[in-house]
Amino acid sequence: MTAVADTPVRDAPVLDIDPYAIEVLRDPYAFHHALREAGPVVLIKPHGVYAVGRHAEAKEVLADHTRFITSGGIGIQDIRKPGDFRIPSRLLEVDPPEHTQVRAAVTRVLSPLVIRRFKESFVDKAAKLVDELIERREFDGVEHCVEAFVLQAFPAAVGVRLPRKETLIIGEMRFNQSGPKNALYHAAMEKAQPYLEWFEKTVQRDAVLPGSIAELLFQAEDKGELAAGVASNIVRSFVGGGTDSTISGMGFALHQLARHPEQWAKVHADPAKVKAAFEEGIRHESPFQVTYRTTAAATELSGVRLDADMKIGVFMGAANRDPRHWERPDAFDIDRPQLAGNHLAMGTGAHACIGQMIARGESEALLSELARRVKSIELAGVPTYRPINQMRMLNKLPLRVQPK
Ligand code: HEM
């Protein structure tokens, strides 16, 4: 155990709030405040897990893959335990040295050349979709805009066929499955049952599209750069990690731009600013609210004693609004200095999002096309959220646009 000289080691304060209660999932900000104020590390009583909500500790846990490992799974369950087992992601839920090798092989596949090729295809798709949206004038910013775009652009790049209904049901299962076994978990697992076989087939070699990222991953397996069976697991991680997250993040950026006409005016005048709008969107309302690590051994964090083999939830949503780190944390401000690389919405450290260039490419393509061609955008109704254990996501975002 490492102890800090001038900080006596103490037990974690206890917080008796369920982060997975429906009302907290719908509006997590009071919980985030309570979590940050209770201490640098707290014990969440209803689930018997540690949690961090301040930026400094969240960053420390994510950056230290030796003390805080992912092979216990990035959800609240320890997937190494009987009864809680599920197939781990061979990238996100493995520790170095295995992680280092797999990550290097996948990074080679996602070369700048490959990313550039797909970014160009995103631009074409964005132009066509924005034609339709302008024609409509009023539309749902989720279903008709960000979701429609991501479901066209992303599966084509990865090389998988993802029909809307099946994809959304599998996504909902994945992000409820990483939470506790509550009503949301059971409902999502049951709803997904009929589609599990379809999904498994979708990520296999004979189903993926030629010239795609998935095909490159299978070729890496052929060359021995990835162990047998890993390519389809990574394709599954890409679909899981890259679909709902991007829909969610782009939805948040669009929502806030619609609420703040003066910020829309800035992106309309200079569409390059959509990059900052996307980063601020995912800082302000983080798609992945929480990810978990497991303590490799008994340790200490900011003067708090942590037992071995315990789950610790890193609440990125709370850290991304920690007033210790951010000025006016609740404000959406696309001119905020030093955004990318500072917020934790894409993680940090060894497991930092490997698809972030793709997510940024998609958001830049769609948001800059909208910014160029739409003079003003406003809410045409009240936005709603979908309660999901691990993820924050808009359900409906009624929008009205005025073309240039
Ligand atoms: C706005 C969109 C996205 C957000 C907010 C996001 C967020 C994250 C976060 C927070 C992590 C780290 C999780 C942890 O440390 O426990 C992560 C890792 C990962 N993401 Fe993303 N992601 C996005 C888009 C994508 C896309 C488009 C892909 C697919 C190409 C992707 C694939 C992955 C994978 C495979 C990992 C694991 C990396 C590793 O363990 O080395 N993500 N993402």
> What is d(CA 312, CA 335) in angstroms, rounded to the nearest whole number?
33
Span from the CA of 335 to the centroid of ligand 1 (angstroms): 25
Residue 346 Cβ < 6 Å to ligand 1: yes
Span from the CA of 341 to the centroid of ligand 1 (angstroms): 14
Residue 287 Cβ < 6 Å to ligand 1: yes
Of 60, 122, 293, 353, best ligand 1 pocket probe by most atoms within 8 Å of the beta carbon = 353
The answer as to whether 328 is a domain residue is: yes
Nearest atom of ligand 1 to the alpha carbon of 363: 1
Residue 61 Cβ < 6 Å to ligand 1: no
Residue 110 Cβ < 6 Å to ligand 1: no
The token pair that represents 339 in the structure block: 């955004």
Residue nearest to atom 26 of ligand 1 (CA): 242
The answer as to whether 9 is a domain residue is: no
In this structure, are residues 331 and 324 in contact, taking their beta carbons and an 8 Å threshold?
no
The answer as to whether 3 is a domain residue is: no
Span from the CA of 353 to the centroid of ligand 1 (angstroms): 4
Nearest atom of ligand 1 to the alpha carbon of 154: 27
Residue 282 Cβ < 6 Å to ligand 1: yes
> What is d(CA 404, CA 400) in angstroms, rounded to the nearest whole number?
13
Span from the CA of 245 to the centroid of ligand 1 (angstroms): 8
Span from the CA of 372 to the centroid of ligand 1 (angstroms): 28
Q: What is the pLDDT of residue 2?
A: 43
Residue nearest to atom 3 of ligand 1 (CA): 245
Span from the CA of 1 to the centroid of ligand 1 (angstroms): 31
- Comparing CA positions, the residue from 189, 287, 275 lying closest to residue 244 is 287
Range of the domain at 351: 14-403
The token pair that represents 376 in the structure block: 């003003």
Residue 74 Cβ < 6 Å to ligand 1: yes
Nearest atom of ligand 1 to the alpha carbon of 99: 41
Structurally, how many domains does the chain consist of? 1
> What is d(CA 211, CA 113) in angstroms, rounded to the nearest whole number?
13
The answer as to whether 6 is a domain residue is: no
Instruction: Return the C-alpha torsion angle 81, 83, 86, 92, nearest 10.
Output: -30
The answer as to whether 1 is a domain residue is: no
* Beta carbons within 8 Å of 334's beta carbon, 6+ residues apart: 263, 266, 267, 273, 276, 277, 280
Span from the CA of 5 to the centroid of ligand 1 (angstroms): 36
The answer as to whether 5 is a domain residue is: no
Residue nearest to atom 16 of ligand 1 (CA): 291
Question: What are the residues facing 293 on neighbouring strands?
Answer: 312
Span from the CA of 247 to the centroid of ligand 1 (angstroms): 13
Of 60, 243, 245, best ligand 1 pocket probe by most atoms within 8 Å of the beta carbon = 245
Span from the CA of 243 to the centroid of ligand 1 (angstroms): 10
Within a 10 A sphere around the Cβ of 297, how many other Cβ atoms?
12
The answer as to whether 253 is a domain residue is: yes
Q: Report the CATH number at residue 111.
A: 1.10.630.10
Amino acid identity at 391:
M
Pairing verdict, β 299-301 and 304-306: antiparallel
- Comparing CA positions, the residue from 238, 230, 243, 233 lying closest to residue 213 is 238
The answer as to whether 82 is a domain residue is: yes
Q: What is the pLDDT along the chain (404 residues), one digit of tens a residue?
A: 444 445 668 999 999 999 999 999 999 999 999 999 999 999 999 999 999 999 999 999 999 999 999 999 999 999 999 899 899 999 999 999 999 999 999 999 999 999 999 999 999 999 999 999 999 999 999 999 999 999 999 999 999 999 999 999 999 999 999 999 999 999 999 999 999 999 999 999 999 999 999 999 999 999 999 999 999 999 999 999 999 999 999 999 999 999 999 999 999 999 999 999 999 999 999 999 999 999 999 999 999 999 999 999 999 999 999 999 999 999 999 999 888 789 999 999 999 999 999 999 999 999 999 999 999 999 999 999 999 999 999 999 999 999 99
Nearest atom of ligand 1 to the alpha carbon of 350: 41
